[in-house]
Structure 1
Amino acid sequence: MSVTDLPTHVASLAERWAQFKLDNPKSRIRDAAQQLGTSEAELLATQCSGQPDAAVVRLTTDFANLLGQVPALGRVMALTRNDSVVHERKGAYEKVSVKGPMGLVLGEDIDLRLFMSHWQFGFAVTENDRRSLQFFTQDGEAVHKIYLTEDSNAAAYNELVSHFRAPEQAPELTTLPAPEPAAETPDADIDVAGFRDAWRALTDTHDFFGMLRQFSVSRTQALRLGPPELVQRLDNTAIVRGLEAAAASGLNIMLFVASRGCIQIHTGPVQRLVTAGPWFNVLDPEFNLHLKLGDVAETWLVKKPTTEGLVHSLELYDAQGRNLLLFFGKRKPGIPEQDAWRELVTGL
């Protein structure tokens, strides 16, 4: 199928994207979608010709079974991002499970929490001989991508794409608007004293989000209204200083980055830190992080009580109150936090 065979509005989008790539050869598809007033998924769909050599193949929405086949690909690169942070981790998908709306990948290298209600579209994409599986929300925003590496099992990838190829390979995609974020409850309507007492009484970090729902408190509102001894606003260079300190000490840390449908976690050291233009980067062989520092509007040191003592984290938010990144010391449930991490983060 050529561009001239496409419906007019799809052909126009395909042509505008082609021209955009010519004019901006180093630009990413996320930037192209924003500039062209569309979504990544809609751009990819324009390349679904249904031909054997198509650059993009639409996949079925049987994502649970598809993800169950990803371990066969071997060593890949997992990518999860939001507008301001990109998290890339190499490794194998291990211990994959999807039960209803929740999914887990619990490998030593690839560590994910999946929120399947946001997974609406999937594509297999070939671009400049780089092959990937890419997944999107109902409005066409990327939730997670899986790229083959030089060590991946290409035959297993081809078999997966063939098995999960959607019967319909139309170049048009019907998207729906993103859900409107819930309105924040006015501070005056919050039981602040009760909320602070509940925070102080926590015994597990995983109970924190249930507590927010219980008191109808947003994430950044919780930081503003939380117990003064357990939350502290820091300047927005704290993340740079924290990562520099971690790199200098070789400390094992945890970095969480979320899209709407996936939280991706790096556990281990960081080594090579590089600033390039607006981006602060970790550029290690197995792990890359790209943070647009100018988007960080709020940085908080947060302490959560557990049965093993306090757990400290650094939390970054943008001007809309969206979480960009969470920074912890390496820790397993039932094991106290590292003293070295606690010294590092409280020193910021």
Structure 2
Amino acid sequence: MTTLETLTTRWADLRQQQPNLRIRDAARQLGVSEAELLATGTGKTVVRLAGDFRELLKQVATLGHVMALTRNDALVHERKGTYESVSFNGHVGLVLGPDIDLRLFMSRWTFGFAVDENGRQSLQFFDAQGQAIHKIYLTEQSNRTAYDALVSQFCSDDQSDTLLIEPAPDRTVDQPDEAIDVAGFQAGWLAMQDTHEFFGLLRQHGVGRQQGLRLAPDGYAQLLTMEQVKQAMTLASDRAVPIMVFVSNPGCIQIHTGPVQKLVQMGPWYNVLDPLFNLHLNETLIGQVWLTKKPTADGIVTSLELFDKDGQNVCLLFGERKPGKPELESWRAIVAAL
């Protein structure tokens, strides 16, 4: 039996044993990537895609109302709406609709598939390691004719059912704190005029993100707990305070802006289950939570930053805000209550 046949058989056996097991968890149990497992369905339920995925994404608007999904190990972010104002500057892309709001890092987008899961159709994209970057699911309101045309246009000549997966790059190790110009870093933090300057500040001083919060100026970063995150979400729901929820992986950041209403705990998963926005957060995979304050030209901007147990930033929470406007006082009141 070939390795592929073995994998296909093992997955079929696993599905019989655990019919509700999601493909990401199945891949982990089988010791392969999600993309490798998905590719075993090529020619049956899966079509491999190729071409410039930037051009494909520009045409997703033709599908109409869809559900966008971006996830990492700890969180799943699902937002319904239409793709609007899709643009690219080199390999960095933006989708800036009122519903679907994305930041795209296309150098990470290696594999694409059109998938039919018992009639549920989607476009799914993965990085070179076979990890999911972004998925676009059709809804009852979607234009299926446009979907078929898009799949036909970007159908790959290569419909083989195996993938050449690259090993994961080594994780960057933080410098020792004593090697950092902490005074210079803190001065740079206090001089920020925009929250986006924070990434440049970290790079300038060779500081890891979590390390940077630990070395923040006094009063500008504070460790919290998951219970306090849930408290903030509950207060936002009870007080109808619109918030921004960012969930990221190396190839995509997906943002929800607006209220959160139905909050549900299901085992280790803390969920937002609203008509247009769903969030699923596995509390057991969160390593640290920080409350941060960053100066901007519009005043202090406050956020909650969630990190996984590997120290990777996986989620950001803000009060709803547009550049040029100060932070919502109602959001500041929620943070103060923590």
TM-score over 0.5 (shorter chain): yes
> Which one of 209, 213, 217 corresponds to residue 207 of structure 2?
217
Ranges of 4+ aligned residues in structure 1 off by more than 3 Å = none
Contact 1:61 1:120 in 2 (8 A): no
* Residues 153-232 of structure 1: pairs in structure 2 closer than 5 A: 153-232=143-222
Corresponding letter in the other structure for 2:260: V
Contact 2:249 2:314 in 1 (8 A): no
Deviations 1:122-150 (CA, angstroms, capped at 9, x unpaired): 00000011000000000100000000000
The alignment status of 1:12 with 2:12, answered yes or no, reads no
Deviations 1:152-185 (CA, angstroms, capped at 9, x unpaired): 0000000000000001100111010122111211
Aligned twin of 1:100: 90
Q: Provide TM-score, normalisation by structure 1.
A: 0.96
The alignment status of 1:259 with 2:252, answered yes or no, reads no
Secondary structure of the corresponding residue to residue 65 of structure 2? strand
Distance in 1 between residues matched to 2:21 and 2:198, nearest whole Å:
38
Aligned twin of 2:34: 40
Q: In the TM superposition, what is the alpha-carbon distance from 1:322 to its structure 2 partner?
A: 1.0
Deviations 1:203-261 (CA, angstroms, capped at 9, x unpaired): 11111100000000001000111112211111221110010000000111000000110
Contact 1:48 1:55 in 2 (8 A): yes
* Residues 1-348 of structure 1: pairs in structure 2 closer than 5 A: 8-49=2-43, 54-348=44-338
Contact 1:246 1:270 in 2 (8 A): yes
Contact 2:290 2:306 in 1 (8 A): yes
Secondary structure of the corresponding residue to residue 131 of structure 1? strand
Q: Provide TM-score, normalisation by structure 2.
A: 0.99
Corresponding letter in the other structure for 2:215: L
19-28 vs 118-127, which moves further: 19-28
Contact 2:195 2:296 in 1 (8 A): yes
Contact 2:188 2:201 in 1 (8 A): yes
Distance in 1 between residues matched to 2:314 and 2:162, nearest whole Å:
32
Contact 2:270 2:281 in 1 (8 A): yes
Secondary structure of the corresponding residue to residue 344 of structure 1? helix
Corresponding letter in the other structure for 1:58: R
Q: In the TM superposition, what is the alpha-carbon distance from 1:20 to its structure 2 partner?
A: 1.2
Corresponding letter in the other structure for 2:266: A
Contact 1:61 1:121 in 2 (8 A): no
Distance in 2 between residues matched to 1:97 and 1:12, nearest whole Å:
42
Secondary structure of the corresponding residue to residue 237 of structure 1? helix
Corresponding letter in the other structure for 1:134: Q
RMSD of aligned residue pairs (Cα, Å): 0.9
Distance in 2 between residues matched to 1:242 and 1:333, nearest whole Å:
23
Distance in 2 between residues matched to 1:192 and 1:284, nearest whole Å:
43
Distance in 1 between residues matched to 2:225 and 2:42, nearest whole Å:
46
Secondary structure of the corresponding residue to residue 183 of structure 1? coil
Distance in 1 between residues matched to 2:237 and 2:321, nearest whole Å:
17
Secondary structure of the corresponding residue to residue 235 of structure 2? helix
Aligned twin of 1:4: none
Distance in 2 between residues matched to 1:20 and 1:115, nearest whole Å:
34
Corresponding letter in the other structure for 1:40: E
Unaligned runs of 5+ in 2: none
Secondary structure of the corresponding residue to residue 226 of structure 2? coil
Number of equivalences: 338
Corresponding letter in the other structure for 1:211: L
Corresponding letter in the other structure for 2:88: V
Secondary structure of the corresponding residue to residue 255 of structure 1? strand
Q: In the TM superposition, what is the alpha-carbon distance from 1:346 to its structure 2 partner?
A: 2.3
